[in-house]
């Protein structure tokens, strides 16, 4: 598993440096795809960009991996020299373990924060959407997210705020005392802005949120909060005692000059954005205190509980097993095109191991072609109980007599075992979380008047698969 990463975070890089390599979700996805497409030897690329860190992960072919930090700077149009002492580069298992710790909040400035795991999921989703991810990075990021979820579920990381927005409220309470009855303006209605507005409302503030546009029934505004147009934000500041800004704007939402011109100014400003929303000079005005994300995270850095290390090591073992299996498959087989095969499923037994969302969708497709699907899963999350349901964990022998098998649980070890058992029995198997373990690939199905088409990709071009299927379905409708 030839992976490499470079990370730029709050510990070594000041906010002035980090904001030069800060990206929105779509920017990160596009940049990851660009790096994969233009850099020889790079098989996959994912970028994580949050207020505390920017990290690049590379999956590479044989030979030494390129310098991820230099590669990122070049792709982003930045000189590498100013960042050379701020990046930390890791390779192989060190890179994988670091990502698990990042996803669990153990590397965050707000120690143990809950938001980072969703940000890690967003990063791999953006890379997948734009074509930057490969199967190695898909598996790596899935491992990290699974480890983080288990940490959050089983270990109580006490004594810390679990988001920058929550920490911001605590700082405001420290500076102003009780917030009940105070007025607050929140600039930005993204995830962080909504979270901050909701927490301020819960603390008793009268909160107004700025919006660039409003569509009734589509725009989500935190319950109990008033709304003001973004263009009127300075007028709204004049009655606010607290100002919080949390946008993804590349420019200042609050300039020092316009803020200084206000007849009445908020006393405490909190900037939750990277790049920064509030021009730093605004905080130098008399009677004004300004806090940015670096200042919010100061103070608490406990030891990592032993149980957390055990959980991460367990998931690292699963990653090693996957990598070992993958390396035993000849390279030509890993990249082989997928031959389309159409078979009659009417009355034939298909075994679905798993009862979650993916399993439910695939069962519906199989049953529409007349398959008799046996579900093996302790829990069923679909509507109504399946007609043929073994309500227990998978056991050896469950695949006997099946024409096809599908492994779609959230347990990597179970999916791998189903794949191994199916191959031993000569039964074609689709393993939802590991393309290398599949002997058939579940397609996007397109139906027309007496016509059926199936579309599969190379395992990472999910967006192209969806686009192709949409185009084919339209064509089939026109032929009807």
Residues with a catalytic annotation lie at 51
Contact 175, 198 (CB under 8 A): no
Contact 182, 204 (CB under 8 A): yes
> CA 301, CA 436: separation in Å to the nearest integer?
40
List, edge to edge, every strand of the sheet that includes 3-9. 42-49, 53-60, 3-9, 88-91
Give the end-to-end CA distance of the chain in Å, rounded to a whole number. Answer: 48
> CA 442, CA 448: separation in Å to the nearest integer?
19
| Count of CA atoms in the C-beta half-sphere (13 A) of 421 | 21
Nearest to 205 by CA among 230, 177, 233: 177
Residue 232, SS3? helix
Q: Which residue carries 């980090």 as its tokens?
A: 18
Which secondary-structure segment (H or E) carries 42? strand 42-49
Q: Which residue carries 């890791």 as its tokens?
A: 90
Contact 332, 379 (CB under 8 A): no
Contact 254, 187 (CB under 8 A): yes
């Amino acid at each position: 598993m030839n992976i490499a990463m470079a990370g730029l975070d709050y510990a070594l890089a000041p906010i002035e440096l980090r904001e030069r390599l800060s990206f929105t979700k779509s920017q990160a996805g596009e940049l990851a795809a660009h790096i994969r497409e233009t850099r020889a030897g790079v098989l996959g690329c994912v970028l994580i960009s949050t207020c505390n860190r920017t990290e690049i992960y590379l999956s590479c072919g044989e030979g030494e991996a390129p310098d991820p930090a230099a590669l990122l700077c070049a792709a982003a149009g930045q000189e590498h020299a100013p960042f050379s002492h701020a990046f930390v580069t890791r390779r192989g298992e060190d890179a994988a373990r670091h990502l698990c710790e990042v996803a669990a909040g153990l590397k965050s400035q707000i120690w143990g924060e809950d938001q980072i795991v969703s940000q890690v999921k967003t990063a791999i989703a953006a890379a997948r959407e734009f074509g930057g991810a490969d199967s190695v990075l898909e598996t790596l990021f899935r491992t990290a997210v699974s480890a983080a979820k288990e940490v959050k579920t089983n270990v109580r990381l006490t004594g810390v705020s679990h988001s920058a927005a929550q920490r911001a409220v605590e700082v405001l309470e420290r500076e102003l005392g009780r917030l009940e009855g105070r007025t607050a303006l929140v600039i930005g209605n993204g995830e962080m802005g909504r979270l901050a507005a909701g927490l301020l409302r819960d603390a008793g503030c009268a909160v107004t949120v700025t919006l660039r546009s409003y569509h009734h029934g589509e725009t989500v505004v935190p319950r109990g909060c008033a709304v003001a147009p973004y263009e009127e934000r300075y007028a709204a500041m004049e009655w606010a005692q607290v100002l919080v800004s949390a946008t993804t704007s590349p420019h200042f939402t609050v300039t020092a000059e316009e803020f200084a011109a206000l007849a009445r100014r908020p006393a405490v400003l909190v900037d939750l954005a990277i790049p920064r929303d509030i021009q730093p000079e605004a905080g130098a005005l008399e009677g004004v205190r300004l806090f940015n994300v670096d200042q919010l995270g100061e103070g608490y850095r406990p030891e990592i509980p032993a149980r957390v290390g055990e959980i991460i090591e367990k998931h690292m073992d699963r990653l090693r097993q996957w990598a070992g299996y993958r390396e035993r498959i000849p390279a030509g087989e890993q990249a082989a095109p997928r031959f389309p095969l159409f078979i009659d499923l009417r009355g034939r037994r298909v075994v679905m191991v798993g009862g979650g969302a993916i399993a439910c969708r695939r069962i519906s497709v199989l049953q529409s072609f007349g398959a008799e699907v046996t579900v093996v899963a302790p829990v069923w999350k679909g509507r109504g109980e399946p007609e043929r349901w073994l309500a227990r964990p998978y056991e050896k022998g469950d695949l006997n007599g099946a024409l096809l098998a599908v492994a779609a649980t959230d347990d990597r070890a179970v999916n791998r075992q189903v794949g191994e058992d199916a191959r031993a029995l000569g039964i074609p198997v689709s393993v939802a979380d590991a393309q290398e373990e599949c002997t058939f690939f579940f397609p996007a199905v397109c139906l027309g008047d007496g016509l059926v088409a199936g579309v599969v990709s190379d395992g990472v071009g999910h967006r192209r698969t969806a686009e192709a299927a949409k185009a084919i379905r339209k064509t089939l409708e026109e032929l009807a």
